[in-house]
Structures are given as C-alpha cells and as structure tokens.
Structure 1
Amino acid sequence: MSTTVSPLSQTLHWTEADQPQQAHWRSERGAPPPKRVVLADDTTSADTAYRLACEGTALLWRGDFHNARQLLQALARRIDKTPARKQRKAPKEAGSLADAFHLHRQAQAQRARVLNMLLLPINADYSIPLRRAPNVHAACLAAWGPADAAAGNSVITLRELQGVTSTHEWRRKGIEIPALGEPPQNRIHPHYGVYSPVRGEYIDLVAKAPLPPAGIAFDIGTGTGVLAAVLARRGVAQVVATDMDPRALACARDNLAQLGVAQQVQLLQADLFPEGQATLIVCNPPWVPARPGSPIEHAVYDEDGRMLLGFLAGLKSYLAPGGEGWLILSDFAEHLGLRTRAELLEAFERNGLKVLDRLDAKPVHPKATDATAALHAARAAEVTSLWRLAVA
C-alpha cells in the first residue's frame, strides 16, 4: 500500500433535530470548515441553495446522491451565467493579460468557494449514507489510506469527493505516454494529489534532446516519475529523482516499478538537489510565478519563482564537469506579463550559466486552439522550451 496523507484535521459542527452534531472535516487543501451549516435534501431548490452558498452557508446533503450531483451542476450554471453588464465591464477591468489572469483566478476562486458549499457525509468505513450513493471505498482507500473506525464519520465537499473518484479512475487506467514506448508498457498512473502529466509536449522534448556523456542524472521535482522513467528508458544507467511530497514519491515508486525501471532510479525526499554531482540535471518547475491556491496547484504555480530560481542558483554547483542542466519551461508567464524573457536570461547569466541550445514545442492541448477559452491570446502564443544549460 502506498503512503497516503490524511486530510482530517478539524471538526465541522451543525444542528440536526435540535441536537448539536459534529464530524471530522476533510479538506485536502486545508480549508477551514464552514461556520454556518444547514441541512439540504431533494426539496431544496437550486435558487435557494445558490443564495445560501453565496452567503457563505454550507449545505449538508441528506437527500438522494444523484440529486446532489444535479444540484452541483445547477449551481455551476448559475455561477457561469455572467450578467451581460458584467461581461461588458470585463475588458475595461482587464487592462492587460496580467490583469486578465488575476481576474480569472479571482473568478475561479470565487466559483470554487460557492461550489464547495455542498457537503456530503462519509461514514468511518468510507461508505456514503445516502440513497443511490456509489461505492467509493476503493477511491477513498487509495487517496487516504485504510479506514480508521476510531476516527469516526466525516464530512467532505461533493467537489472534493468527485476529485477523489476521478483521480482513482486515472490511477486505475493510467495515461499513455508515447515517449515511454509501445503499449501497454507506456502508462503513467497518477495518484491522488499528484499532478498528472497531461501536457505531453514537455515529455517529448526530454525524449528527443541529445544526451550528454554517460553518467548520473538528477530529476528535480519528479512528481509521477515520468521524466525519470523517460531518462531510464533512454539508457541512463543511474537516475536520482527528488521530491518534497511523500505522495509524489509513493506515486513515482509505483510507476517506476510498473515500468520496470526501478533499479535504475533512486528516489529521495529532498528540496531540489540531492547530494553529489550529475552529468545531467533535469527540472520541470511550475511554469507560472503566482501563489498556489491548493496543494495540487503547487505543480502549476511557483510563488515568486522559488523553484525556478532555486534550480538555477544551485545548478552550477551540482553539475559535473561537461554536464548539462535541462530546464523545461513554458513561456506562458511571459505572455501574461508575469515574467519577461530578459529576466530569465539574466537569471542564467547571474548564476554562471550559458545556453547551449533550446528545443521548442507548441502545446497541443485543447485550450491552445479554443478561442473561447480564458486567456486565449496567451495560450495561443505559448511555446514550451527545453533549455540546455551549461556552466559558463
């Protein structure tokens, strides 16, 4: 059984049948339990639920499970139906792509706050005490570890439970990675709380870039272990892969074993670099210098560019003579006005690094070609690059 992290930390309180009630509050992102809770069931209208949720009142569901799902969809439709007057105001408010990005994140955060007001009970054995509720035991077991009867019952948002179950399906089926070879030995199975490698262009860049002379490779921030696996499949005899997240390390361990490359890869819990030097050091840091709003967003948002700048600052010390550092980075942040190309190049120079080459790839994900997608101008212009760096 892989190592898991329990999100149980606080207690939710409410009144039911004139009696005070309480249960453990489950929140992966560490959000506090709602202060105001009312009971809701199949008789609760979507308009009433929406009004209460917008006011900050949570609804603890006591009706049919499938009706709860329908109510959540109805709440989402009400949020997404922006009044015309607000749509006319948006372009003025968003004076630049950076402004548009911040407004978009604010809107997404507000959307999440409202939708997370619909709560579900979960028994200590991971069963859901509602009519027509699905069996989520396997998904909860994979996400949180063995059920603990002593922990008692708990409450979770319906959206978070949906995340648990959908991630379990991804973990069960896996994601095909062409760079790892032919099926079925080319699948990565992401665990709950570990970012999935859905942007394949950066993996292809690592699979195609010319390898430096044989030696040890470091994979910094390994996540699912996909890049360490690609390097191992390319013939790198020894890879040291690091990550700070125990879930990521457990996920990488399972994937590397399933792919048959575990003997070539050593996993370490470390902040950026392991001890020693390597002839190849690979890092795919979060691409956007902004504050994460939840644990899973740490794979996308790198507040103040901490991981990027930390990697560049340490690279010179950890590279063996003649070695290369591969930085995989999208220029999405540049198009948003959150970082400039000049700032990136200056960081290379400041840390005693020179650019040997740069390999580019255009994203192929649906949002890159969807003119209606948020921040489309930046997404359409985005390029993902593998910078081959060496000591100057």
Structure 2
Amino acid sequence: MSADTHLHWTQQDGSPASALWRSEAAVPAPQRVLLVDDTTPADKAYKLACEGTGLLWTGDFQNARHLLQALTRRLDKTAAPKRGAANKRDEPPHAGLAFHQHRQRLAHRARILGMLLIPFNADHTIPLRRAPDVQQACLEGYGPGTEAYVTSLRELLGLIGAHEWRKKGVAIDALKGKGSGRIHAHYGVFSPVRGEYVDLVQQAPLPAGIKDAVDVGTGSGVLAAVLASRGIARITATDQDARALACAQENLHRLKLDKQVNVIEADLFPPGQAPLIVCNPPWLPARPSSPIEYAVYDPDSRMLRGFLAGLKAHLTPGGEGWLIMSDLAEHLGLRGPDELQGWIRDAGLQVLGRLDARPRHPKVQDANDPLHRARAAEITSLWRLAAA
C-alpha cells in the first residue's frame, strides 16, 4: 500500500479537511482535490481528471459509478483510431514496442480513472447515499481500519471484484474430489484462471519413489495442492508475500491437504534438498507498475534466474526441478529466443524433457487485443531439469 500519507482538501464551508490516502498501486495522493457530486458535468470531471485533480465524491454512490462509466467512454473515444489511420494499423508495430505502448495506455487510463475518489469511515463503511456494504471486501484487501480514509472508486471496484472471485473460487480439474476442488485467491494473489499450467503439473511424470517436494513461490497454493493430490507425502511451499502465505494455508486447509503441505515464508528455497522442486515464476521480465503486478512481472527475470541458479544445490542426487514458463516474453521481444536455455546451461543444469500446452484463455481469440499476435503464438511449457 502507499506510505502513511494523507489527502487534503477544502470543505464546502471553507474549512480544511484530510483523511488517510490508500492506494494498493502505490499511487501518490493527488496534490489538488475538489469536491464533486451528482451535479458535476462529466465533461468537466474528465477535464479535471486529465489535469491530475482528484475528484472527491460527495453525492449518491451509484451516480459515482455512472460518472466513472462516463469518464471511461471519453477515454475510449480519445483512444479510438482516427479516420484514415487504417493503413497504419495494417502494419503492426514490433511486438516489444506494442507491449510497451499497451502498458503506457493502461497506465494513462488508470491514472485518469483513478482520480474519482470515495470517502470511507474507519470501519470501511462509505458515508454516501445508496452506498453498498463493502466492509468484508475492504477488510480482505486492507485489513482492519484505523481511521477514516479515501481511495479511488476504481480501486474499490477491484476490491469488490476480488472479494467475489475469492468467494466463488476457481474450479481445478486436477483437484476434483479434494473438498470443493476449488482454489480461492485472496486480493493481490494470482488466481489460477489459466488452467494449462496446472494441467502440466498434473500430467508430468513424477520421479520414481518420490516422497518429498518443494513448491517455490506457491502463491495461492494450487501447485502444492496438485502435487499433494498426486500422492506426495510431504511438500514444503514457500513464498515471501504475507497475503500469498495466508491464501495458500487457507486453500490447503479447505482442500484437506494441509497435513501434507507445510507453508513457510522463504525467499525461493527452504533449507535443505528435495527430489522435486517446482517453480512457476512470473512470466514477463518487466517492471511492475504496482505491488499487485509482481505476480505477473519479474523485473530483469530476477526470480527466474534466482531459481535456476540455486536449483542444483537444492536438488537431491537424481532429483528434478520443474520450471513452468510461458514463452510470451520471447514473442514480445522481452527475452531472447535462446536466453532461457542459456541460463539453464549456465546454472549447470540439463533438460530431461519438456511438456507443452497451448493457452485457452479468451484473449487468444481476441483479434482486437494489441498483443494478439504474441498471445496466439504463445506456448506454456513445463521444463524438466536436472543437474548436468
């Protein structure tokens, strides 16, 4: 979350006011804040937001949602291609350039839409007309409140969405018969909605006679759960993130696999060696724009390279390391075509085999996605590695 800073504004009677500023994306508090309500024209609100002015909502909550939709429409209109630009669009930019342009557009969009602000009481209630009950969603995302605060409506909607996903969970075919067979991701923890990488861990041949395994960077705990469901008696699951550790423990308990899996805080490897070590690091070597994006982006491939560099020392003789990676970074020009295999060799490892899967998520079929070409060519692989 953002540092313990406060947002300042002037009340309608001219008196000064302030509240704690919350931002999971670590966005600085707006320096200028104006009070807005149901009478504020959308065009005026859009102009102010583009100028970097925070719009603290004081009217009906549902009308704030309508205003956010109106701001979104104006953003979409400005982002639409101009007439006569069709020929330019027929010549797509280099994949890496397309990726960076796409992220810049998303950051610009987030900055403007994030200017519409909502006040909260210390107990996570919203002091606005027709405000929904969001206490549980905010408690899951922020923890217990200590004082009144302000956050963006856009972030609040993210908290609500994460809360609903957490309640519903994601069905995992490999976990059928284990409790509900679902993984419930906490706010800020990557949800296993892309099932192909989970299926690869379910399908890969286990080393003969294996009784112990390690899941490095467990996140929601899904891969540790799959390994446990395959009969591995003792699994150590590691992570550095407090939310991930709590999420994994909760999921494993719900699936009745917590006696097989020990969840611990660790930077990559736990002490000692194991005959099987599994890791599904973030797939894209780019800088996260918020703490939540660390599940997707691995700056300079630090986690990936750290796993490869330390794997040999933590494997028992004859043991295997399973690296689950997408080659989307190669298709986007973010990593060289032979770079990963070079790191594997440099770490004193050899490739015993590789299982591949095509992604099944909807964006693969979306030709309007600016990264469609790269996504359509993407392959997710489980690399079976051993000491050379």
- TM-score, with normalisation over the residues of structure 2? 0.96
Give unmatched runs, 5+ long, in structure 2.
none
The answer as to 2:168 corresponding to 1:173 is yes
Out of 332, 336, 347, the position equivalent to 1:336 is 332
The answer as to 2:360 corresponding to 1:364 is yes
Cα gap change, 1:176 to 1:341, in 2 (>3 Å): same
- State the one-letter code of the partner of 1:339: R
Out of 56, 64, 84, the position equivalent to 2:81 is 84
- State the one-letter code of the partner of 1:106: Q
Cα gap change, 1:370 to 1:322, in 2 (>3 Å): same
Cα gap change, 1:182 to 1:281, in 2 (>3 Å): same
| Paired residues for 1:1-392 under 5 Å | 9-16=4-11, 17-81=13-77, 82-85=79-82, 88=85, 91=89, 95-147=93-145, 151-182=146-177, 185-213=180-208, 214-392=210-388
Map of 1:3 onto structure 2: none
Pairwise CA distance, 1:238: 0.7
- State the one-letter code of the partner of 1:267: V
Cα contact 1:176–1:183 (8 A) shared by 2: no
Cα gap change, 1:241 to 1:77, in 2 (>3 Å): same
Cα contact 1:94–1:103 (8 A) shared by 2: no
- State the one-letter code of the partner of 1:109: A
The CA RMSD measured in Å over matched residues stands at 1.7
Cα contact 1:215–1:278 (8 A) shared by 2: no
Pairwise CA distance, 1:166: 1.1
Pairwise CA distance, 1:215: 3.0
Pairwise CA distance, 1:304: 0.4
Pairwise CA distance, 1:258: 0.4
Cα contact 2:2–2:27 (8 A) shared by 1: no
- State the one-letter code of the partner of 2:184: H
Q: Which runs of 4+ in 1 moved over 3 A?
A: 83-87, 89-95
- State the one-letter code of the partner of 2:373: A
Pairwise CA distance, 1:236: 0.7
Does the residue aligned with 1:198 lie in a helix, a strand or coil?
Answer: coil
Pairwise CA distance, 1:356: 0.7
Cα contact 1:358–1:386 (8 A) shared by 2: yes
- State the one-letter code of the partner of 2:81: A
CA distance in 1, matches of 2:261, 2:368: 42
CA distance in 2, matches of 1:7, 1:192: 16
- State the one-letter code of the partner of 1:84: P
CA distance in 2, matches of 1:289, 1:87: 35
CA distance in 1, matches of 2:65, 2:169: 25
Does the residue aligned with 1:263 lie in a helix, a strand or coil?
Answer: coil
- State the one-letter code of the partner of 1:276: G
- State the one-letter code of the partner of 2:17: Q
Does the residue aligned with 2:25 lie in a helix, a strand or coil?
Answer: coil
Pairwise CA distance, 1:268: 1.2
Cα contact 2:120–2:127 (8 A) shared by 1: yes
CA distance in 2, matches of 1:154, 1:130: 14
Pairwise CA distance, 1:46: 1.3
- TM-score, with normalisation over the residues of structure 1? 0.95
Identical residues among aligned pairs (%): 61
CA distance in 2, matches of 1:191, 1:84: 37
Does the residue aligned with 1:84 lie in a helix, a strand or coil?
Answer: coil
Number of aligned residues: 384
Does the residue aligned with 2:338 lie in a helix, a strand or coil?
Answer: helix
Give unmatched runs, 5+ long, in structure 1.
1-5
Pairwise CA distance, 1:341: 2.7
CA distance in 1, matches of 2:137, 2:112: 25
CA distance in 2, matches of 1:188, 1:301: 22
CA distance in 2, matches of 1:93, 1:43: 44
Pairwise CA distance, 1:137: 1.1
